[in-house]
Amino acid sequence: MLNIKSSGALKGKLIIDLSRVLGGPYCTQIMGDHGAEIVKIEPPRGDETRDWGPPFHEEDSAYFLGVNRNKRSMGLDLSKPEGKDVLLRLLSKADVLLENYKPGTMEKWGLGYEEVLKDKFPQLIHCRVSGFGSDGPWGGFPGYDAIIQAMAGWFSVNGEAGSNPTRLGLAMVDMGTGLYSAVAILMAITERERSGLGQYLDMTLYDCAVSLMHPHIANYNLSGEVPVATGNAHPNISPYDTYRTKTVDIFIGAGNNRAYAKLCTEIGREELIEDARFINNIDRVTNRDELKAEIESSLMKIDGAEIANRLAVAGLAAGPIHDTSQVVDHPHTLHREMTIEDGWYKMPGTPIKLSRTPGSMRHKPPKYGEHTHELLTEFGFDDHEIQQLLDSKTVLNKRQK
């Protein structure tokens, strides 16, 4: 379980989070796990991922619950002038504003960074996450994970050799953008310590997806050859693939001659070390199909879990292929505190392990508008103001249909 005593490395930082769905919420959960105060501002209808199920817990989907812990929620209608005024009062104390509205939306509401926020709050860091940015041939167009995967080439290198273009089973464009955004925010916070000034962070799903196309873009730029799907095999390394055994499939990676020789020894095939087809990595890549057949002919006589463990003990990169349930309950997952349980709440932990200021779970994911009154009070709104804002549905504590 996450450390419940640590105040976190980002204690004292206040982030106003206007984002929805995945990339932005994943970014702010990372920072919330490490002590930042996250105020999640939701539109009247709420973050739509609350409805992305089944499964659900008390009407909130697992999808939403998985990326929204350590946040407090307020409903706010920014399309109203009074809603804009509420946000500006919140921003007066904020370190970071994160939003993923369509480019131009904040400007339409009179909340653009260059036009308003930069001068009004010179220390504010404004991070915008969008599909393609605000300008260029695709500027302003909507972008979702799968569309960006397709356009950034991910489909073309995923799947078995000769298969149709295939989407990755993870929303890694969104989550990768969330990770890049967290890095960008931390860079801007560090720079602000020197300059005293905030800045605008222009983060796009497209840019992040292109940057993650390694080694495929690097290979293409150097060779001129368009990469294709190779299944589980690595385009630059062999052996680096899935292998059948007597029981379960395992994955083996041997990235150099020494590791390859050790693999051959462990499976009792020392003659393959000096086989002319497999002397160096370039030979093994060229003759990958023959090498796979040779290795599998030996592995098919051995229990998969046993040989994977034996190879790992010998210092080789190897492991069995697990399904989700095996991952969640694996002893190493538990040892690394990568499963958090607190009553009904059971989700992945933080992978960021800091020795003095480890991550912590201070809040379970909030119900919609759960903290509206509490937050407004903390930001100096009196009871009369709060009631007026609730009555006019400028701020909300219940989702609208």
What percent of the chain is modeled with pLDDT above 70? 99
pLDDT of residue 3: 47
Residue 76's SS3 state is strand
Q: How far apart are CA 174 and CA 205, in angstroms?
A: 7
Nearest to 110 by CA among 80, 142, 76, 74: 80
pLDDT of residue 401: 85
pLDDT of residue 7: 86
Is residue 29 a contact partner of residue 70, using CB atoms and an 8 Å limit?
Answer: yes
Range with the poorest average pLDDT among 2-6, 47-51, 346-350: 2-6
pTM of the model: 0.93
Confidence check: pLDDT of 29 > 60: yes
Residue 74's SS3 state is strand
Is residue 100 a contact partner of residue 19, using CB atoms and an 8 Å limit?
Answer: yes
Give me the phi and psi of 96, to 5 degrees please: -140, 140
What is the mean pLDDT of the segment spanning 158-167? 93
The Cβ of residue 221 has, within 10 Å, a number of other Cβ atoms equal to 8
What percent of the chain is modeled with pLDDT above 90? 98
Confidence check: pLDDT of 4 > 80: no
Confidence check: pLDDT of 282 > 80: yes
Confidence check: pLDDT of 1 > 60: no
Confidence check: pLDDT of 233 > 70: yes
pLDDT of residue 298: 96
Residue of 17, 77, 145, 174 with catalytic role: 174
pLDDT tens digits along 287-335: 999 999 999 999 999 999 999 999 999 999 999 999 999 999 999 999 9
Give me the phi and psi of 75, to 5 degrees please: -85, 135
pLDDT tens digits along 94-141: 999 999 999 999 999 999 999 999 999 999 999 999 999 999 999 999
Give 5 or 138, the one with higher predicted confidence. 138
What is the mean pLDDT of the segment spanning 16-34? 98
Q: How far apart are CA 197 and CA 203, in angstroms?
A: 19
Mean confidence (pLDDT) of the chain: 96
Active site residue 51: no
Domain boundary assignment for the chain:
14-212+351-396, 240-328
pLDDT of residue 6: 64
Is residue 201 a contact partner of residue 127, using CB atoms and an 8 Å limit?
Answer: yes
pLDDT tens digits along 164-222: 999 999 999 999 999 999 999 999 999 999 999 999 999 999 999 999 999 999 999 99
Confidence check: pLDDT of 5 > 60: no
CATH superfamily, domain at 14-212+351-396: Crotonobetainyl-coa:carnitine coa-transferase; domain 1 (3.40.50.10540)
Confidence check: pLDDT of 147 > 90: yes
Please state which of the four CATH numbers 3.90.870.10, 3.40.1410.10, 3.40.50.720, 3.30.1540.10 is assigned to the domain occupying 240-328: 3.30.1540.10
